[in-house]
Structure 1
Amino acid sequence: MAMTSSTRWAASRRRSGDAFRAAAERRGRGSRCLPNMTRCRGLATAAVTTRWLHRGSARRSGCPRSFAGEIVFLGTPAEERGSGKQIMIDDGLFEGIDAALLYHPCDRTHVESAPLASEDVAVTFIGLQAHAASDPWKGKNALDALVLLFSSVGLWRQQLRTDARVHGIVTEGGTAANIIPERAAAWFMLRSPDQGYYDEMKQRFQAMAEGAAMATDTTVEVVYSGGAATMNHNRTIMANVSWVCPTIHPEMSIVDQPTAGHSTAFRDAAAEPRADETTLLAATLVAQTAYDLLADPSLVEAAWREFRTRT
C-alpha cells in the first residue's frame, strides 16, 4: 500500500476496561514494564512531534512546511498478561496506521529487540475431596496431579532448546492440610523465538497435563489465552503489531550494569534520575523518527516494501 495523503503514527495503545485493569493489578510491582517510563515517553513523544509540526519545525533542511498527517497516541492495557495489543489489533485500532513506534527501558541500548512467542496457560485439575486422615482412599488428589505436572516440566527442560522457556506458579493448591484437594490450579507461560517449535511445545505441554491427570485419576482443563507472536524485524518490531504494520521497538539502558528485567532492582532504577534522562532522550529520538516519516513519504513507502517481503 502506497502512502496516502494521511499518515498515521501509533506510539503505543491503551484501551480502558475493568478486565484489563484487573489483569494488570494482579501482577506484582516488579513484574511490570515500568509504565511510569513508557507512558511518559509516549505522551512526551506525541506532544513533541505535534509541537514541531505546528511550529513548522521544518526549519530542518529539505522538510516541507506543512504536513497532511495524523499523530495517534495509543496505550496498551494488560500488555503482558492479556495480550492487550492483540485485542486492539482485533478491534481494528491499527487499521490505517502507517508506522508504529515504541521505546522500552532496558539494561542495554540496542535497536532491535527479540521477544519470544508466548501465551498464558491456565491449568486446572479436578479430583475428589476427602478427609486426608480418616478416609484418604476415597479422594482423588488434584494437587498431586499439579505437582506431577511441575515435575514433568522440570524434566522436560533438559530436552528443550536453549532459547525456549516454560515457567509457572501454583495459584490454587487446596483449602486445608487435612483435606485432599478437590481442585488445584496453576498459571504457566510457554515461550520460544520459533513459532513452529512453539506449537510443538504446546502439544507436548498438553500431553504432560493429560498424563498427570491420568496418573492421579483426575481431570484437567488447559486454557490458553493472550498470545504474543515472535518479532517480524521490519525496522524492528513490537511482536503482534509488527505483523500488521512497519514497527520499531528500540530499547535504551537505564542502568550501568546488567540487571534482570522485572526485578526489584530494575524497578528501583526506574525511579533514579538516569531513568528520567533516558525517558526524555527516548522521547526525542522517537519524535524525530516520527517527524522524518511525516516529512519524507518515501521512507514510509520503503518500510512498507520491506514489510511486505517479510509477511
Structure 2
Amino acid sequence: MAIALAATRPAEPFAEAKQRLAAALEEHRAEILDLSHRIHANPEPAFEERQAAAWVGETIARHGFTVEQPAGRLETAVRGRLSGGQGGDGPRIGILAEYDALPGLGHGCGHNTMAASGVGAAIALASIADELPGEIVFLGCPAEERGSGKQFMIDDGLFDGLDAALLFHPNDRTSSSIALLASVDVEVTFSGRQAHAASEPWMGRNALDALVLLFAEIGLWRQQLRPEARVHGIVLDGGTAANIIPSRAVGRFMLRSVDEGYFHEIQDRFREMVQGAALATGCGGEAVFSGGSSTMKQNEVLRGRFSANLTAYGLEDGPLDLQHLGSSDMGNVSQHLPTIHPYLAIAPLDTAGHSTAFRDAAGTPQADEATLLAATLIAQTAYELFADPSLVSAAWAEFRGG
C-alpha cells in the first residue's frame, strides 16, 4: 500500500524538516525509481557492478556531491561527499547503498532497492544541505554477496571519521532490529591423479571422491552443529569426462554462526574434515578462506530513532527475527562505528530470499513504495543526527560501552 509520505506528519522531533525531506523524495520519485528499475534490469555480480556504480555516481553528482569512483581499491566502489552549509564541525553521517546481484539469479536479494533508497536519502539530505552542519557521505558498496566489499572499504579508510552508517535491507517483513550470522567463504581444492576410469582405475586418485566425501562429512556433521550455525556449498569443478578419473575437484562453501567463538571452532573443524577426506582418498586437499562477515552490533540509539520515524507512518515495527538469519558485511561496519541495517518488506510474508520470487518482487510497485519509504526514513534519521549532537554522543557511548 502506498504511503502519502509528504502528506503524513512525521515523528517528532524536527517534524517540519522531516516533512520537507519527504517532499524532496516525492519530487524526485521518478528519478529514484528509474534508477532502481535500471539496476534491476541489468544485474551485475560482485566486483563487476560497473554500470550500476556509474549510474549511482552520476545521479548523486547531479545533486551536488563530489564523487570519487573508484573509491579506494575497488573499481566499483563509490564515495560522494557534500558539506553542510552550517560549517564543518558537525557529524559526518554515512548513507550507504549496495548494488551487486546474484550470479544466475539477478537481483534475488533486492539490492536494486538498496541502491535507489541510499541515493534517494542522499538526494533528500542534499536538498536541505544548507541547513546542516558537518558532511553527508554517500558510500556505494560493491560485493556484499561475495567477497565482503565493505571490509575492503573499511581497510581503505573510507569509513574513517564517520559518526554513523545507515542502510536499509529489503525483506518479507518489517523490523528495525536485525541479527546477522558471522560468515566466511571457503574454496576447497582436492588434487588427485588421472587414470582411465574403466581400464586402469586403480592407477588413479579420485579428487571428486574426496569432494563427495567432504559433502558426506558435512551432512553427518550437521546433526551435531548448533542450531544457529550453517554450512553449505556447491561443486565448482568435478572433472571433465566420465571416463577419466578426475585429478582435480573444487567446491565452494560458506560457514556461518551467530556466535563468534563457535564460528572459529567450526572453521577449525572444517579444516580437519578437508584433510580427513583427502587422507581417505589418497588425495591432496587445500582449503582457502576468504572474505568474511561479522555478526551485527546493533546500536539501540540509532535503531530507536529509526523505529520512531517508521511507526509515525502507521507501520508496525516487527520483533527481532532470530529464525531467518543471513549474513552481511554490514556486520563488519557495525563493529567499526554505530550502524543500523533495518528491514522493510518488499514482498509477501514468507517469500524466500535469494529466489526468483524475491527477484521478481524487487521490481514491483510494492518494492518501489518500500524504496521511497526507506529513503525517507534513512534521511529523517540522519537529519536527527545532524540536528542533535547529543544523539551522536549517545550512539557512540553505547557503541564503546558494548
TM-score strictly above 0.5: yes
The 3 A distance-change label for structure 1 pair 29 and 248 is same
Query: Residue 96 of structure 2 aligns to a residue in which SS?
Result: coil
Q: Which residue of 1 aligns with 2:53?
A: none
Give, as a single letter, the amino acid of the residue that structure 2 aligns with 1:264.
Answer: T
Task: Output aligned runs, 1:226-305, within 5 Å.
Answer: 226-235=291-300, 238-305=330-397
Q: Which residue of 1 aligns with 2:75?
A: none
Give, as a single letter, the amino acid of the residue that structure 1 aligns with 2:379.
Answer: A
Q: Which residue of 1 aligns with 2:158?
A: 93
Give, as a single letter, the amino acid of the residue that structure 1 aligns with 2:235.
Answer: V
Runs of 4 or more, structure 1, over 4 Å off, are none
For residue 269 of structure 1, report the CA deviation from its aligned partner.
0.6
Q: Deviations over 1:204-246 (max 9, x none)?
A: 1111110000000000110010010011112369300001110
Q: Which residue of 1 aligns with 2:37?
A: none
**TM superposition score normalised by structure 2:** 0.69
For residue 279 of structure 1, report the CA deviation from its aligned partner.
0.5
Query: Residue 291 of structure 2 aligns to a residue in which SS?
Result: strand
Q: Which residue of 2 aligns with 1:6?
A: 90
Does 2:271 align with 1:206? yes
Q: Which residue of 2 aligns with 1:59?
A: none
Q: Give the CA RMSD over aligned residues.
A: 1.7
Give, as a single letter, the amino acid of the residue that structure 2 aligns with 1:261.
Answer: G
Query: Residue 128 of structure 2 aligns to a residue in which SS?
Result: helix
Identity within the alignment, %: 60
The 1-side partners of 2:167 and 2:179 are apart by 14
Q: Which residue of 1 aligns with 2:116?
A: 40
Aligned residues: 288
Given that residues 13 and 85 in structure 1 are in contact (C-alpha distance below 8 angstroms), is that contact kept between their aligned partners in structure 2?
no
Query: Residue 185 of structure 2 aligns to a residue in which SS?
Result: strand
The 2-side partners of 1:31 and 1:188 are apart by 21
Q: Which residue of 2 aligns with 1:216?
A: 281
Q: Which residue of 2 aligns with 1:58?
A: none
Give, as a single letter, the amino acid of the residue that structure 2 aligns with 1:272.
Answer: T
Q: Deviations over 1:9-50 (max 9, x none)?
A: 111267xxxxxx9xx577232575312111000000001011
- Picking from 75, 82, 103, the partner of 1:27 is 103
For residue 258 of structure 1, report the CA deviation from its aligned partner.
1.2
The 3 A distance-change label for structure 1 pair 26 and 44 is closer
Q: Which residue of 2 aligns with 1:306?
A: 398
The 3 A distance-change label for structure 1 pair 79 and 39 is same
Given that residues 108 and 360 in structure 2 are in contact (C-alpha distance below 8 angstroms), is that contact kept between their aligned partners in structure 1?
no
- Picking from 218, 221, 232, the partner of 1:156 is 221
Give, as a single letter, the amino acid of the residue that structure 2 aligns with 1:34.
Answer: G
For residue 306 of structure 1, report the CA deviation from its aligned partner.
0.3
The 2-side partners of 1:13 and 1:262 are apart by 18
Given that residues 34 and 267 in structure 1 are in contact (C-alpha distance below 8 angstroms), is that contact kept between their aligned partners in structure 2?
yes
Given that residues 30 and 263 in structure 1 are in contact (C-alpha distance below 8 angstroms), is that contact kept between their aligned partners in structure 2?
no
The 3 A distance-change label for structure 1 pair 25 and 140 is farther
The 3 A distance-change label for structure 1 pair 263 and 30 is farther
Q: Which residue of 2 aligns with 1:81?
A: 146
Given that residues 237 and 249 in structure 2 are in contact (C-alpha distance below 8 angstroms), is that contact kept between their aligned partners in structure 1?
yes
Given that residues 108 and 362 in structure 2 are in contact (C-alpha distance below 8 angstroms), is that contact kept between their aligned partners in structure 1?
no
Given that residues 104 and 252 in structure 1 are in contact (C-alpha distance below 8 angstroms), is that contact kept between their aligned partners in structure 2?
yes
The 2-side partners of 1:194 and 1:219 are apart by 31
Given that residues 97 and 118 in structure 2 are in contact (C-alpha distance below 8 angstroms), is that contact kept between their aligned partners in structure 1?
no
**TM superposition score normalised by structure 1:** 0.89
Q: Deviations over 1:91-116 (max 9, x none)?
A: 11100000100101000100111110
Q: Which residue of 1 aligns with 2:13?
A: none
For residue 271 of structure 1, report the CA deviation from its aligned partner.
1.1
For residue 255 of structure 1, report the CA deviation from its aligned partner.
2.0
Give, as a single letter, the amino acid of the residue that structure 2 aligns with 1:305.
Answer: A
Query: Residue 223 of structure 1 aligns to a residue in which SS?
Result: strand
Does 2:238 align with 1:173? yes
The farther-off stretch of 117-126 and 44-53 is 44-53
For residue 69 of structure 1, report the CA deviation from its aligned partner.
1.0
